[in-house]
Amino acid sequence: MNTTLKKIARGYEAVAVLFLLLLFFSVMIQIIMRNVFHAGSIKLEELARFSLVSLVFLMIPTLTLRKQHIIVDIVLLYLPQKIKRWVSVVTQALVLFFGLYVLWAVATIMQFNWNVRTPALAMPNVVFYIPITLGIVAMVVFSFAGMIASLLNKEVLL
Amino acid sequence: MSGSLVISLFLFLLATGLPIAVSMGLPSALYLIMANIPPSQLIQRMVTSLNSFPMLAVPLFILAAGLMNSSGITERLFEFAKLLVGRMKGGLAQVNIVASLIFSGISGAALADVGGLGNIEIEAMDKQNYPKTHSAAITAASAVIGPIFPPSIPLIIYGAAAETSSMRLLIAGIFPAVIIAMALMVQVGFRARKYNYPRGVEKKYSVSEILTIVKRGLPSMLMPLIMMVGMLSGWFSPTEVAAIAVTYALILSFAYKEMSFRSFFKTCLSTLQSTASVLFIVASAAIFAWVLTVEQLPQQASALMLSISDNPVVLLILANMILLLAGMFLESTAAIMVLTPILLPPLMIAGVNPVHFGLVMVFNLMIGMITPPVGMSVYMLSPIVGLPVGKVFKAVLPFLASLLVALVILTYIPQISLWLPNLIFA
């Protein structure tokens, strides 16, 4: 299972890197167009913003799998190993629950507004929300794997 | 489910080690379920908070700093700082502060300063037999400057939370950062005499040595200058300046021949990790703050603060106390997103400028990065110096004196922050 999770995470990271580069080039081209050709483009700005939203949500599962989320672990540090394990099970379950709620939230938007388009690129919501949905689905899967691993006293690590 | 219950649940979940973003998102989700509010509200708030032009600066500034780090800039900066103040008594301790000030013009985060410069600074101070506790303490304290001097990720996030111009905020950080550096340098000067710190450099530099160091350091030093000129001239927005910084860092990396495709990809990945961990908090904090607003918590806090006093001096003391306390327990992004809508309205009613308060807020929260129990800079430094966290916290304590003096100066002389942005945007 670890190999599959690793491959999924690597795939997400690769796509997120592409979005990062897309964001950078969109802003740079925008600067050149505005300053050299006196023609700014709202499409490029929207593309950069879409890239930012996408890369953030695509990286969330990787942070979950590698336990790189920002946490406050001051209480955890003083807990005995056995309790720490159970706390880890519960926190992974809570992340899972939150992920499921976010997916429900996405589903409710898609139900009525899937065809609403963004102002500049005219991108329908159903496309805009693809990276967000993929990110949250993977977060749910990774937190479930993490929960099972904690229950079995194993580590899911890359 | 009341607002206070949402906050209590957030603090409880935070203490269990749940990711900060989820600790904010989960109580908000429960609130929406119990209040029968459509769940779409949650994802829409989260997405809207990220779908903004100023936020684009966050990954770009992180990428620029990462590229500069990979291109060996830190050593060049350290040598350059040594040239400037290395001859003083306790020279390396002063170099530590000056290098942090220069590095802060490239990076927008305190932890990047600790991670980027920390190793070099501590290794050099070790060679001159500085006590490890002293070198760790100075490194941690000087890293506070990073997010005050532009570029600054916390200031950009505050700008979004307070709906204030991030350009004004970034420019407002220039003089406060210099004041903080000066306060630290004065304290280090006294300590150099008390503990008999050695000079950083014994011999005088020859002209050819000076030219070599300047030549090596100049291209990296130009980066903050390019950003400053770009912003001060009004040619570019902070986001555009960040993109130009990335372009310049890429050019430098290839010019120094220290960047391979592999290291570039690695830098991109670490940029993504830092960006996502910070912006996931921003996204969750957006719905959390909305829930608090629906529950009228900011209005209640505002009324409470104004019932104590409507004098800005008193309110700023109160705000500083709250922020110092919050900084001790909360990660800075989360604290900014939650506390800005609560603290800013009463302060604005009392006549405090939001740009000035942004600087005060970020400085308070950065002090929290070196104070127990959640001082992240200290946690990061502890393995670098090979000392237990507790010892580093104890060693940092004396430096709180100069930082608090600087905080008082910056809090009660708003002109230090506001003079430059007012001059430029008059």
B266-292 tens-digit pLDDT: 999 999 999 999 999 999 999 999 999
Helices in B202-353 by DSSP H: which ranges? 207-232, 238-255, 261-294, 297-308, 312-329, 332-349
Distance, CA of B339 to CA of B184 (rounded, Å): 28
Nearest to B247 among A28, A94, A109 (CB): A28
* Residue from A21, A42, A56 to probe the interface with B (highest B Cβ count within 10 Å): A56
Nearest to B280 among A17, A56, A87 (CB): A56
Q: Is the full-model pTM beyond 0.90? A: no
Do B148 and B180 meet the contact criterion of CB atoms below 8 Å apart?
yes
Residue A158: pLDDT band by 50, 70, 90 thresholds? very low
Q: What confidence score (pLDDT) does residue B320 get?
A: 96
- Own/partner contacts of B306-311, CB < 8 Å, gap of 24 or more, are B306/B346, B306/B349, B306/B350, B310/B349, B310/B350, B311/B350
Residue A37: pLDDT band by 50, 70, 90 thresholds? confident
* Across B88-110, average pLDDT: 86
Residue B142: pLDDT over 50? yes
Q: How far apart are the first and last CA of chain A?
A: 11
* Across B233-242, average pLDDT: 86
Judging contacts by C-beta atoms under 8 Å, the chain B residues touching residue A31 are: 236, 240, 243-244
Q: How far is CA B279 from the centre of its chain?
A: 15
Place of tokens 């890429």: B250
* Across A85-103, average pLDDT: 95
Residue B365: pLDDT over 90? yes
Residue B201: pLDDT over 70? yes
* Residue from A52, A73, A112, A130 to probe the interface with B (highest B Cβ count within 10 Å): A52
Nearest to A94 among B26, B59, B283 (CB): B26
Place of tokens 């609403």: A116
Residue of A nearest to B39 (CA): A105
CB contact under 8 A, A109 and B279: no
CB contact under 8 A, A98 and B25: yes
pLDDT tens for each residue of B150-170: 889 999 999 999 999 999 999
What's the alpha-carbon Rg for chain A, to the nearest Å?
A: 19
Q: What confidence score (pLDDT) does residue B225 get?
A: 85
Residue B304: pLDDT band by 50, 70, 90 thresholds? very high
CB contact under 8 A, A102 and B59: no
Nearest to B275 among A28, A56, A91 (CB): A56
3-state helix, strand, coil in chain B (%, to 5): 80, 0, 20
CB contact under 8 A, A95 and B22: yes
Q: How far is CA B354 from the centre of its chain?
A: 18
Place of tokens 């580069």: A21
Cross-strand pairs, B199: B89
> What 3-state class would DSSP assign to A124?
strand
* Across B69-92, average pLDDT: 85
Instruction: Give B271 to chain A, closest Cα distance, Å.
Output: 9
Q: What confidence score (pLDDT) does residue B69 get?
A: 78
Q: What confidence score (pLDDT) does residue B267 get?
A: 92
Q: Which amino acid is at B99?
A: A
Residue B34: pLDDT band by 50, 70, 90 thresholds? very high
* Across B337-364, average pLDDT: 95
Residue B66: pLDDT band by 50, 70, 90 thresholds? confident
DSSP string, B110-170: HHHHHHHHHHHHHHHHHHTT--HHHHHHHHHHHHTTTTTSSS-HHHHHHHHHHT--HHHHH
Judging contacts by C-beta atoms under 8 Å, the chain B residues touching residue A55 are: 59, 272, 275-276
Instruction: Give A14 to chain B, closest Cα distance, Å.
Output: 9
* Across B116-124, average pLDDT: 82
Nearest to A60 among B18, B42, B276 (CB): B276
* Across B315-339, average pLDDT: 92
* Across A73-79, average pLDDT: 81
Q: What confidence score (pLDDT) does residue A1 get?
A: 65
Q: What confidence score (pLDDT) does residue A76 get?
A: 82
Bigger pLDDT: B259 vs B296: B296
Residue A156: pLDDT over 60? no
**Mean per-residue pLDDT of chain B:** 90
Instruction: Give B248 to chain A, closest Cα distance, Å.
Output: 12
Nearest to A24 among B235, B243, B276 (CB): B243
- Lowest-confidence segment of A54-68, B1-15, B173-187, B404-418 by average pLDDT: B1-15
Distance, CA of B398 to CA of B231 (rounded, Å): 36
Judging contacts by C-beta atoms under 8 Å, the chain B residues touching residue A52 are: 50-51, 55-56, 59, 279
CB contact under 8 A, A69 and B26: no
Distance, CA of B352 to CA of B410 (rounded, Å): 13
Which residues, 6+ apart, have CB-to-CB distance to B13 below 8 Å?
Answer: A94, B22, B23, B26, B27
Q: How is residue B199 annotated by DSSP?
A: B
* Residue from A19, A71, A90 to probe the interface with B (highest B Cβ count within 10 Å): A71
Q: At what angle do helices B40-50 and B20-34 cross, to 10 degrees?
A: 140
Instruction: Give B42 to chain A, closest Cα distance, Å.
Output: 7
Q: At what angle do helices B389-412 and B415-424 cross, to 10 degrees?
A: 60
- Lowest-confidence segment of A36-50, A94-108, B56-70, B249-263 by average pLDDT: B249-263
Q: What confidence score (pLDDT) does residue B96 get?
A: 92
Residue B231: pLDDT band by 50, 70, 90 thresholds? confident
* Residue from B153, B266, B268 to probe the interface with A (highest A Cβ count within 10 Å): B268
* Across B405-426, average pLDDT: 94
Residue of A nearest to B373 (CA): A74
Residue of B nearest to A10 (CA): B269
CB contact under 8 A, A31 and B42: no
Write b or e for each residue in B221-250: b if 16 or more Cβ atoms lie within 10 A of its Cβ, otherwise e: bebbebbbebbbeeebbbbbbbbbbbbbbb
Judging contacts by C-beta atoms under 8 Å, the chain B residues touching residue A98 are: 22, 25-26, 29
Q: What confidence score (pLDDT) does residue A155 get?
A: 64
CB contact under 8 A, A49 and B53: yes
Q: How far is CA B221 from the centre of its chain?
A: 20
